[in-house]
Structures are given as structure tokens and as C-alpha cells.
Amino acid sequence: MDSINQGEVSSTSYRCAFCGETNHTFVDPSQGKQQKYIEDCQICCRPNELRVSYDEWNEQYAIRASQSQ
């Protein structure tokens, strides 16, 4: 079953790949279960490349951050 509610925004967080601080962000479910985009850290303002994947088991998004050049 597809448990994603289209149109809703899922709140989640990731750890900055540069400074290690936790950033809270929102994932737009309409962009799919696998997403990749750049977001600037809210603390150090450096660009994190975020890989978003939807965890079907936990019914939430997981974000992996890496340093973007």
C-alpha cells in the first residue's frame, strides 16, 4: 500500500555534513520516494547534498547529507 499522503509535507531532520548541527527540514512527498537536492545548512550556510529516501517500514523519510562542492 502507498501510505504517502500526497500534498502533505513531512517534517524531518538531518545532520549537517560540515558542522554536524541538526537541521530541520521538510520533504515534499509529491517529489517522490527518492529525492536528491542541495540545501544550505541553517547554522553554517554551507551546501549539503541531501539524499532523501522514504522508509516504508517506519513510514517516514530518512535523509543522508553529504558535502556538496
* Residues engaged in binding Zn ion (CB under 5 A): 16, 18-19, 41, 43-44
Nearer to Zn ion among residue 43 and residue 62 (C-beta): 43
Could you tell me the smallest distance in angstroms from the CB atom of residue 27 to Zn ion?
Answer: 19
C-alpha cell at position 55: 522508509
Nearer to Zn ion among residue 11 and residue 67 (C-beta): 67
Could you tell me the smallest distance in angstroms from the CB atom of residue 22 to Zn ion?
Answer: 9
Identify each DSSP E strand in 1-69 by its residue range: 10-15, 22-27, 34-40, 47-55, 60-67
Residues 44 and 42: their CA atoms lie apart, in Å, by: 6
